Amino acid sequence: MLSIVKSMSLIGLEGYLINVQVDVSAGIPCWEIVGLPDTSVKESKERVRTAVKNSGYELLSRRVVVNLAPADIKKEGSFFDLPIAVGTLMCCEEIKENQIEDTVFVGELSLDGTINKINGVLPMCIEARKLGMKKIVVPIQNMKEASIVKDIEILGAHNLQEVVKYINGEQGLIKAEENMLTSTQRQTGINLDFSEVKGQENVKRALEVAASGGHNCLMIGMPGSGKTMMIRRLPTILPDLNFDEALETTKIHSVSGTLEKDVGLITTRPFRAPHHTISYTSLIGGGRIPKPGEVSLAHNGVLFLDELPEFNKKTLEVLRGPLEDRIVTISRVNATLTYPCNFMFVASMNPCPCGFYGSKEKQCTCTEQMINKYMEKISGPLLDRIDIQIEVSAVKYQKLKNDKKEENSETIKKRVNKARQIQYNRYKKEGIYTNSQLTPKLIEKYCILDTQCQNLLENAFNKLGLSARAYSRILKVARTIADLEEKENIEIKHIAEAIQYRNLDKKYWKNWGINEKNKNRRWGLS
């Protein structure tokens, strides 16, 4: 007897339909799974057989062949357990013939018949709806995540018995409700606030500009100056995700298995802060079974690298492509996968290994060779992709003891939201959301400079030895500063402030300038 049950699998962030074909016939008792299954899929036969037995159903001693069609695509994961079990029970007549042609089944089975949570339910539901499926049966733990998708009936099941009784018409399954999302919003940095930061007005201003335009930012300062403290509070001034951004962000975390418990839709921007021992594969994504890396998990949010020179140089260099292209492409023999990675890159570092280079209070103990080796961890091309460079000075005692009430995150966030709204209205027909996403063509269209601005920028370009990439990033930052002031045109003060955020390279990477021995070695050029 032959049965066909519909299921779903994943390629990257997208779901695709799988027809689970089960044939039970006379012959030597055995189980065979074909259709390019990996090890986790091949092992499902043991899980299914035991789960069916422990759920109280009888499997005949027959030859069972399972085909996962289409057979030319590699199948990975454990979410075929449930459809294989349903198909097998249909062939053994434990399940009556019923109309399930428009129903999709996904889920991993425990040995006792319990249906376990799986990764990637959200893109599966989206694809099932696109294909015209009416219903999808998912593990009960995935209900809130699946309930994001409308126009398809989401059914949750605890175990195999419930699914069998549902198909036989003996009982119903739990249906997803629209109000499931009301209490499933991810909170980031809920107890942090910029009002706790004493002084550092110039740094807070730079972070406000970065948040308003989605710009990359690098902080350089002595240990204890508050770099990490301020960056940790950056999410509190970022605008909430719109629905399209939230859906895309949730898809990534769903596929990677990092979606927090009881979270249906991520509505606040991700903040990822990996340790400096991270491998480049974990940072970018990949592996034997390709998964999104930290850059993709930070999509629509912030990627924070603390103590930047402590990271492996090879690891840092792989960031160059994602920072420029905002996508990551992972090529394997069986498939080429593309993950989005449109994130704010924020980093902090000390000016030298001991941390006190340039300090008036404490003497630096590093040799020139040690400092050069330390700073060379950050290559010119990588530094060139950072829009804002800000020096963080040590906080004076008077500032710490000052009872002056500092500006809170909510107040700053209102200004950021207003600037973001201006950008959204300006670029809604261009397919982008922020100034940091401007292409050269759009820069030419929206960053028009008068003569004074052009003269100032030309002077800075020549004196600082800026690259073409640095030039365009100054214009993007200036555009954001103008938006914060609700100015239609970029003024000379906006250009001046944007240039100030690009001058630390000459102080800390001064050996990258032109010299007599190597005239072609100019800072900022790869």
For 476-516, write each residue's pLDDT tens digit.
999 999 999 999 999 999 999 999 998 777 677 765 443 33
- Could you tell me if 286 and 210 lie in one domain? yes
100 contacts: CB under 8 Å, gap ≥ 6:
5, 6, 86, 167
Q: Minimum mean pLDDT among 81-85, 453-457, 521-525: which range?
A: 521-525
User: What span, in angstroms and rounded, lies between the C-alpha atoms of 67 and 21?
Assistant: 5
Q: What is the pLDDT of residue 502?
A: 85
- Could you tell me if 79 and 211 lie in one domain? no
User: What span, in angstroms and rounded, lies between the C-alpha atoms of 491 and 244?
Assistant: 33
Helix (H) or strand (E) holding 344: strand 344-349
Distance of CA 33 to the CA centre of its chain: 35
Q: What is the pLDDT of residue 90?
A: 92
Q: What is the pLDDT of residue 510?
A: 61
Q: Is 220 in a helix, a strand, or coil?
A: strand
Reported as a single tens digit per residue, the pLDDT across 178-214 is 555 543 444 444 578 898 888 888 999 999 999 999 9
In this predicted model, which residue has the larger pLDDT, 199 or 15?
15
Closest by CA position to 308, among listed 299, 319, 298: 319
Q: What is the pLDDT of residue 30?
A: 86
- Could you tell me if 100 and 209 lie in one domain? no
Q: What is the pLDDT of residue 525?
A: 35
Q: What is the pLDDT of residue 179?
A: 52
State the average pLDDT over residues 222-229: 89
State the average pLDDT over residues 145-161: 93
Q: What is the pLDDT of residue 59?
A: 79
User: What span, in angstroms and rounded, lies between the C-alpha atoms of 349 and 260?
Assistant: 30
- Could you tell me if 62 and 204 lie in one domain? no
Assess if residue 455 is contained within a domain: no
Q: Are 381 and 526 in contact (CB under 8 A)?
A: yes
Domain boundary among the residues 427, 457, 490 is at 427
- Could you tell me if 242 and 175 lie in one domain? no
- Could you tell me if 15 and 111 lie in one domain? yes
User: What span, in angstroms and rounded, lies between the C-alpha atoms of 139 and 427?
Assistant: 40
Domain boundary among the residues 385, 412, 427 is at 427
Percent of the chain with pLDDT over 70: 94
Place 518 in a pLDDT band, splitting at 50, 70 and 90. Answer: very low
Q: What is the pLDDT of residue 380?
A: 86
Reported as a single tens digit per residue, the pLDDT across 297-318 is 999 999 999 999 999 999 999 9
pTM of the model: 0.87
**Exposed / middle / buried, residue 435 (Cβ in 10 Å: 0-12, 13-18, 19+):** buried
State the average pLDDT over residues 215-237: 92
State the average pLDDT over residues 100-112: 95
Assess if residue 460 is contained within a domain: no
Q: What is the pLDDT of residue 524?
A: 35
308 contacts: CB under 8 Å, gap ≥ 6:
218, 316, 347, 348, 349, 377, 378
- Could you tell me if 208 and 279 lie in one domain? yes
Place 335 in a pLDDT band, splitting at 50, 70 and 90. Answer: confident
- Could you tell me if 6 and 106 lie in one domain? yes
State the average pLDDT over residues 5-12: 92
Nearest-Å Rg of the Cα atoms of the chain is 28
Closest by CA position to 310, among listed 345, 364, 352, 270: 352
Closest by CA position to 83, among listed 24, 179, 7, 152: 7
pLDDT at 139 over 90: yes
Closest by CA position to 416, among listed 206, 157, 172: 206
State the average pLDDT over residues 114-127: 94
Q: What is the pLDDT of residue 515?
A: 36
- Could you tell me if 138 and 210 lie in one domain? no
Assess if residue 403 is contained within a domain: yes
Domain boundary among the residues 427, 461, 487 is at 427
User: What span, in angstroms and rounded, lies between the C-alpha atoms of 9 and 289?
Assistant: 13
Assess if residue 489 is contained within a domain: no
State the average pLDDT over residues 116-141: 95
Q: Is the dihedral of CA 244, 248, 254, 260 positive or negative?
A: negative
Assess if residue 508 is contained within a domain: no
Range(s) of the domain holding residue 234:
194-427
Q: Is 221 in a helix, a strand, or coil?
A: strand
User: What span, in angstroms and rounded, lies between the C-alpha atoms of 191 and 5?
Assistant: 48
Reported as a single tens digit per residue, the pLDDT across 43-94 is 999 999 999 999 999 877 788 999 999 988 888 889 999 999 999 999 888 8
Closest by CA position to 238, among listed 304, 327, 195, 300: 300
- Could you tell me if 50 and 176 lie in one domain? yes
User: What span, in angstroms and rounded, lies between the C-alpha atoms of 267 and 260?
Assistant: 12
Assess if residue 476 is contained within a domain: no
User: What span, in angstroms and rounded, lies between the C-alpha atoms of 115 and 113?
Assistant: 6
Assess if residue 509 is contained within a domain: no
Cα dist from 115 to 107, 108, 142, 473, whole Å: 6, 6, 11, 51
Q: Is 153 in a helix, a strand, or coil?
A: strand
Reported as a single tens digit per residue, the pLDDT across 371-426 is 888 988 898 889 889 999 999 888 877 777 777 788 899 999 999 999 999 999 99
pLDDT at 522 over 70: no
CATH number at residue 295: 3.40.50.300
State the average pLDDT over residues 211-220: 95
**Exposed / middle / buried, residue 439 (Cβ in 10 Å: 0-12, 13-18, 19+):** exposed
State the average pLDDT over residues 357-367: 85
222 CB-side CA count, 13 A: 14
Q: Is 180 in a helix, a strand, or coil?
A: helix
What is the phi/psi pair of residue 7, to 5°?
Answer: -140, -175
User: What span, in angstroms and rounded, lies between the C-alpha atoms of 341 and 455?
Assistant: 36
Residue owning tokens 């390709």:
290
- The torsion of the CA quartet 406, 410, 414, 415, rounded to 10 degrees, works out to 30
Domain count across the chain: 2
Q: What is the pLDDT of residue 226?
A: 87
Q: Is 112 in a helix, a strand, or coil?
A: coil
User: What span, in angstroms and rounded, lies between the C-alpha atoms of 435 and 442?
Assistant: 10
Assess if residue 35 is contained within a domain: yes
State the average pLDDT over residues 434-462: 92
Cα dist from 417 to 300, 438, 473, whole Å: 15, 19, 21
- Could you tell me if 163 and 221 lie in one domain? no
Q: Is the dihedral of CA 416, 419, 425, 426 positive or negative?
A: negative
Q: What is the pLDDT of residue 178?
A: 59
Q: Are 497 and 440 in contact (CB under 8 A)?
A: no
CATH number at residue 113: 3.30.230.10
- Could you tell me if 33 and 136 lie in one domain? yes
